[in-house]
Chain A
Amino acid sequence: MKPNGDSPQRPWLRFVAPALALVGLAVWELQARRGAISTLFFPAPSVILSTVVEMSRGGKLATDVGVTVLQLLAGFVLGGSAGLVLGMFMGWSQTARRILDPFVAAAHPVPKISTFPLILLIFGIGIFSRTLVVAISAFFPMLLNTMAGVRQISPIYYEVAKNYGATSGQVFTRVVLPGSLPLVLTGARLALNRALSITIAVELLMGENGLGTLIWYSWETLRVEDLYATILVVSVLGIGFRWAIALATERLTPWQVERSA
C-alpha cells in the first residue's frame, strides 16, 4: 500500500466527519434555542440558513455574488495569465530566471493588500484599482508554480523529443505544456483562493457592491444573521472554485496517479 494512500478498510470512517459536523450543528441549534448561548453572537444555524434564503429573494444577493465573482475572475485571469506566461519563460530560460528571480523573491513576500492604498492613490478609486490588486495577488502563486512545473520536467523527456526530431515549438507543446500542467493547475487553485480572499478584503475596504461590502454593511448595522449568512455564501464560493479546479485537474491530467482529494 502506498504510504499516504487511504486504506480501503473501515469504509465507515468517511462518515465520521459529516456525522461530527451534524452533531455540532445540532448542539449549536439546541443551545441557541434554549438561550444557553447568546443569539446576538451565535444565531441558530436554522436562522442563518433562512437568512440566506431571505437574502436571496429579490435578487440583491445574486447581484452581490455576481459582482464578487466577476471582480475575482477579472483579477485572476489578468494576474494568472501574466504569471503563467512569465512562469513558463522563467522555467524555460535560465538567463531569464537568474535576472528576474531576485525581483520575484523581493516582491513575493510583500502582503499584496498592503499595496492597495498606494494603488488607489496612483490609479484612483474604482474598478481598475480593485482588479489590479486582485491580479497582483493571483500573479505570484501562478508564476511560482508554473516555473516549478517547467523546471521539474526531467531532462530525459527533452532528449527523447529532440532525438525523435521535435522542433522547439513541438518540444513546447508536447513536453513543456503537458509536463508542467499538474503544477500549473495547483498554481491556478492557489491563485483563485488568493483572488477570492483579496477580493473580499478589497470590498470590505471600499466596495460599492459585492459580498465583502455586504459583510461590512451587516457589521455596521449589527445584523449578525446577515454576517453569518454572507460568510456562508463566500465559503460556498471558495468550495465551488476548489471543486471546479479538482474537476479540471481530473479531466486535463488523467495520467496523474489519482490521489485522494
Chain B
Amino acid sequence: MGLSCRNLHFTFPSRTGDVSALEDVSLDILDNEFVCIVGPSGCGKTTLLKLMAGLLRPTAGEIDFGTAKNGRPRNALAFQEHGLFPWMSVLDNVAFGLRMQGASRKASHERAAAFIDQVGLTRFTRSYPHELSVGMRQRASIARAFVADPEVLLMDEPFGSLDALTKLVLQEELLRIWSEHRKLVVYITHDIEEAVLLGDRVLVMSGRPGRILEGIPIPLPRPRDLLDREQPEIVKIKTRIWKLLESEVRMIARRAT
C-alpha cells in the first residue's frame, strides 16, 4: 500500500498575505515503515501530518495511498495534547474509533479492554482522563490509535510534554506494540535522538516554507535497546542530522531578530 506525497504545496492566508507552509514536498513511505520527521518548530510538520490525515487539503500536489483504492485508508492520529475526550471514560475513549467504524458497543468495549491491558491501564478502564497522569493519558491515546486498527498511524509529538523517564518507558512500549501490530507510522518530533531511536528512516525538514532536506535511513537492527544511545552509529547519524538542521535553525533565529 504505502503512502506517497507528490509535490505537495500548502499556503494559508494571513493578515500580511499568503504564507507558504509547505513547498514542493515529495516523499514515499513503505508499508509497515516507521518514518520520523524532524524539523525546526514552525516548519510545517503538523501541517504535513494534517494533510496526510485528510484534515486539510493541499493547495497543490497530491497524496497517494497506493493500492488503497476508493480514497484514503483508515488512519489514526495521536497528538501531543493526547486529545482524549474529557467526557468519556478511558474505555469509551479507546473504543471510540471502533464505534465510529460501526462496531457494536459490546464488541468495541471488549477489543478496547484488550488494548487497555496492553498499555497497562487495566485499573483505570473506568476512569476519566482528568484522573490520569499525563503519561497515562498518552498511553490511552496510543491504545485508542492502535485499537482502531488503522493502516496509517500519524503521531504528532506524542511524547513531547513528558518527563525523560516516562518518555523512555512509553517509547519502548510504542515500539513493542508496533512490532506486534505493524503499521505505517509517521512520527513527528523535534527531538533528533528520539527520531533516530524510533525510526526506520528520518526525514529532515527545513524551516518555513517546509521542504524535505534529506531522508536518512537508520540501519539499526530491531528490537532496539533505547538505553544504548551512545553507540557510534547513532552518534554519527545524530551529528549528521544536527548539521543539516543547524543552519536552518540559525537562519530562523536571524529572521526573527
B101 close to A159 (CB less than 8 A): no
Distance in angstroms between the alpha carbons of A163 and B141 in the assembled complex = 13
Interface string of A141-172 (1 = CB under 8 A from B): 00000000000000011011111111000100
Q: Give the contacting residue for B86; candidates A161, A170, A255; CB below 8 A.
A: A255
Across the interface, which residues of B come within 8 angstroms of A175, CB to CB?
Answer: 85
Majority secondary structure of chain B interface residues (helix, strand, loop or mixed): loop
Number of interchain pairs (Cβ within 8 Å): 52
Alpha-carbon distance A93/B129, docked complex (angstroms):
28
Q: For A178, list chain B residues within 8 Å (CB).
A: 85, 87-88
CB distance from B36 to the nearest CB of A (A): 20
A254 to B129, CA, bound (A): 11
Residues of B contacting A164 in the complex (Cβ-Cβ under 8 angstroms)? 76, 96-97, 100, 148
Give per-residue flags for A179-220: 1 if the beta carbon is below 8 A from chain B beta carbons, else 0.
101000000000000000000000000000000000000000
Q: Are B128 and A163 in contact (CB under 8 A)?
A: no
Closest to A181 in B: B87
Known: A164-B97, A170-B100. A156 touches B55 (CB 8 A): no
Contact between chains at B55 and A163 (CB < 8 Å): yes
How does the 8 Å CB contact mask read for B26-56 relative to A, with 1 for contact and 0 for none?
Answer: 0000000000000000000000001001110
- B79 interface residue, CB < 8 Å from A? yes
Residue of A whose beta carbon sits closest to that of B80:
A156
| B41-84, CB < 8 A from A | 50, 53-55, 74-77, 79, 81, 83
Interface residues of B, count at CB 8 A: 23
Question: What's the nearest-Cβ distance from chain B to residue A127, in Å?
Answer: 39
Does B130 make an interface contact (CB < 8 A)? yes
Can you list, as one digit per residue, whether each of A59-76 has a CB less than 8 Å from chain B (1) or not (0)?
A: 000000000000000000
Inter-chain contact B86/A160, CB cutoff 8 Å: no
| Residues on the B chain within 8 Å of A253, using CB | 87
Tell me, rounded to whole Å, the shortest Cβ–Cβ distance linking A167 to chain B: 8
A33 close to B (CB within 8 Å): no
Q: Is the CB of B55 within 8 A of A255?
A: no
B87 neighbours in A (Cβ, 8 Å): 178-179, 181, 253, 255
A159 CA / B53 CA spacing, docked (Å): 10
Nearest B-chain residue to A252, judged by Cβ: B87
A160 in complex: contacting residue of B54, B77, B130, CB < 8 Å: B77
Chain A residue at minimal CB-CB distance from B154: A163
Residues of A within 8 A of B54 (CB): 163
| B128 in complex: contacting residue of A170, A174, A255, CB < 8 Å | A255
Most chain B CB neighbours (cut-off 10 Å) among A157, A161, A164, A165: A164
Complex partner residue of B85 from A157, A162, A181, CB under 8 angstroms: A157
B152 to chain A, nearest CB (A): 11
State the CA gap A261–B127 with chains docked (Å). 23
14 intermolecular pairs with C-beta atoms under 8 Å apart: A156-B79, A157-B83, A157-B85, A159-B50, A160-B79, A160-B85, A161-B96, A163-B76, A165-B74, A174-B85, A255-B87, A255-B128, A255-B129, A255-B130
List B residues at the A interface (Cβ < 8 Å). 50, 53-55, 74-77, 79, 81, 83, 85-88, 96-97, 100-101, 128-130, 148
